[in-house]
Amino acid sequence: MRLASILRRRIVARPRVAARAVGAALATHDLSAAALAAVMLLGTSALCEDEEPGSVRPELPTVGLSEVRKHVSREKGIWVVYKRGVYDITEFCARHPGGTKILLAAGKSIEPFWQLFAAHHRADVYEMLEECRIGNLDEVGAAELAATAPPHSDAYANDPDRSPALRVNSTEPFNAEPPSELLMNDFVTPNDLFFVRNHLPVPPPVEDPSAWHLKICARGPSVCHHVSMDDLKRTFDKATVTATLQCAGNRRREMAGVKAVKGLSWDKTAIGTARWSGARLADVLRAHGVDDAMRHVQFEGRDADATGERYGASIPLATALDPRKDVLLAYEMNGRDIPRDHGHPLRVIVPGTVGARQVKYLDKIICANTESPSFWQTRDYKGFPPNVDYSTTDYWSRAGPSVQELPVQSAITEPAADTPVDVDDTITIRGYAWSGGGRGIVRVDVSLDDGHTWTQADLDPRATAQEYNRSWAWTPWELTVDVPDNATTLTLVCKAVDSSYNAQPESVAPIWNMRGILNNAYHRVTVHLLRPQTDDDDDEEEEEEEEDHFAHLASSSSTFSDRAPTRVAGRIATFPQKQQQQQQQQQQHTP
């Protein structure tokens, strides 16, 4: 009867599981359990149609809020509350599209979080939730949650205006990137075209920056000083750094093509370069008596979730204090006050470091011996090996350290993938290359034949003129090269080498990870060539038209649609490898 007991407790509101349980019970000859499962299957199907999600289910046990709060880990189970329903989402966590962010609600009500992420309010989501139902929250717990719930409000009602040119990945919170064709128009990315990465709603604007104060706790969290924007501008020299920011998930879409990953489907333009101006963090910390024995600098923003938890991250104190690392408390972006989407009125800029550590809407700085306790530092933006996913037992034990500096990267921005390209005898290919830690780019290699042969691209002299190990900005590159005769399709590939001679991996599969971050494999783009017509082509087409005309007279059943594919197919030629190698004898043959 153990199976019957499990059925009573666990599958009342899970019709799919109940259906499987009928078969399992029959297979073990436990007829009482099978009968119970069948009854539950019939009953719950009707119940799902008639009842609202989260409403009281009389046939389920009652659970106290104190018990729910005990279940916040995979080992003990992960429970959440929605209205009066209690749910065990331990198994579902591995399938959650948002990855581990669902753990923010462990042991709590998920309603405040669903106010921020409105995509959850759909029938299919409610159905999945009810399949995890294990009980009803008691009246005392429901009253406590109601009394402590934040007031309902539209957290996105006052979001700033955005450029319609941006390609939107999510609306609440807003995340978007520019079209690749516009990204490299300038060495510095215009503010309106800079990619937007928000983890939470954009906080209300600071109407009077002069009345705003930054809290600085340079000797630990117990003693803090308040510094105004006027103090920062008046007391500390203004420094300007041209630096590239890249999201950890840049090029995640390609990684998802190998195996499913968690996170926004970023293409290749979650990256941008700006001139950032502000006070040097090292100067500010020194002025406030920083304790050099501390190991980390924690940053806390004003953007917060429904429970009040703010976005936070940290960097090593050694990075913050190194004058050659150029870490800024930035209040200007490209000569203007930082826009709201990018951190108004103050943000951290840590050149060469992943964007997730460059906290926006900066409110507080704490020097400490530990990393930031924030979810985004302790439970996100870490590397995993390719054999680990969310179904792996205790997968967090396999996580690497928090991502800081990023690996060497490059991408083709023009021509765009899978687009027709007008060519005569040559094709021009453009893109960017960049590496973390201030490492400059020394070479970009481009291939027209999926990596069989290579040609070195021209690098933007503004990028190559950057100081050694302080090359914070990307390297735009360009190559104009002859198009092989008869080629109709090209597979373009690029790869970069940085000043430490780090090179990109050839493919995505060996660096796949369940969070879909740190994709720096060779970048590939397939393009279709459109060639201008010549006089010879016109003569050939006239001959073909005459032949088609007589063929039509000979067979009235023949139509244009019958013949057109044959003519088109006749002009398509596969580019021979031998001919390609002969035409590119002077190209580099690098591994």
pLDDT average, residue stretch 157-166:
93
Q: Reduced to 3 DSSP states, what percent helix, strand and coil does the chain have, rounded to the nearest 5? A: 30, 25, 40
pLDDT above 60 for 254? yes
Q: What percent of the chain has pLDDT over 90?
A: 65
pLDDT value, residue 97: 59
How confident is the prediction for the chain on average, in pLDDT?
84
pLDDT value, residue 537: 56
pLDDT above 80 for 163? yes
Least confident of 148-152, 261-265, 376-380: 148-152
Residue 171: other Cβ atoms inside 10 A = 12
Q: State the residue for tokens 């397939």.
A: 526
- The Cα–Cα gap between 244 and 406 comes to 11
Residue 242 CA to its chain's centroid (Å): 23
pLDDT average, residue stretch 51-74:
92
pLDDT value, residue 40: 44
- By three-state DSSP, how is residue 477 classified? strand
Least confident of 150-164, 302-316, 526-540: 526-540
pLDDT average, residue stretch 256-271:
94
Please count the residues of the chain.
Answer: 591
pLDDT above 60 for 15? no
Please answer whether residues 473 and 433 qualify as being in contact, where contact means their C-beta atoms are separated by less than 8 angstroms. no
pLDDT value, residue 532: 79
Residue type (1 letter), 179: P
Which run of H or of E encompasses 569? helix 560-571
pLDDT value, residue 545: 56
- By three-state DSSP, how is residue 62 classified? strand
- The Cα–Cα gap between 520 and 405 comes to 13
pLDDT per residue as tens digits for the range 479-520: 999 999 889 999 999 999 999 999 999 999 999 999 999 999
Cβ partners under 8 Å of residue 271, min gap 6: 183, 195, 244, 245, 246, 247, 250, 409, 432, 434, 474
DSSP, res 449: B
- Tokens representing 444? 């970009």
pLDDT above 90 for 88? yes
pLDDT value, residue 520: 98
pTM: 0.75
DSSP, res 40: H
Residue type (1 letter), 115: Q
Place 32 in a pLDDT band, splitting at 50, 70 and 90: very low
Place 234 in a pLDDT band, splitting at 50, 70 and 90: very high
- The Cα–Cα gap between 29 and 31 comes to 6
Place 105 in a pLDDT band, splitting at 50, 70 and 90: confident
Q: How far is CA 46 from CA 14, 15, 78, 136, 486, in A?
A: 12, 10, 27, 18, 64
The alpha carbon dihedral of 296, 302, 308, 309 has a sign of negative
- Tokens representing 110? 């998920």
End-to-end CA distance of the chain: 64
Least confident of 82-86, 423-427, 491-495, 568-572: 568-572
pLDDT above 70 for 119? no
Cis omega (within 30 of 0) on the bond before 420?
no
Residue 434: other Cβ atoms inside 10 A = 30
pLDDT value, residue 391: 83
pLDDT above 90 for 460? yes
DSSP, res 218: B
Residue predicted with more confidence, 438 or 574: 438
Q: Enumerate the active-site residues.
A: 96, 120, 197, 247, 381
Place 538 in a pLDDT band, splitting at 50, 70 and 90: low
pLDDT per residue as tens digits for the range 378-432: 989 999 999 999 888 888 889 999 999 999 999 999 999 888 898 888 999 999 9
- The Cα–Cα gap between 280 and 134 comes to 53
Place 591 in a pLDDT band, splitting at 50, 70 and 90: very low
Please answer whether residues 226 and 385 qualify as being in contact, where contact means their C-beta atoms are separated by less than 8 angstroms. no
pLDDT value, residue 282: 98
The alpha carbon dihedral of 255, 257, 258, 263 has a sign of positive
Beta strands 455-456 and 441-447 are: antiparallel
Q: What percent of the chain has pLDDT over 70?
A: 79
State the Rg of the chain over Cα. 29
Residue 272 CA to its chain's centroid (Å): 14
pLDDT value, residue 73: 86
- The Cα–Cα gap between 362 and 360 comes to 5
pLDDT above 80 for 541? no
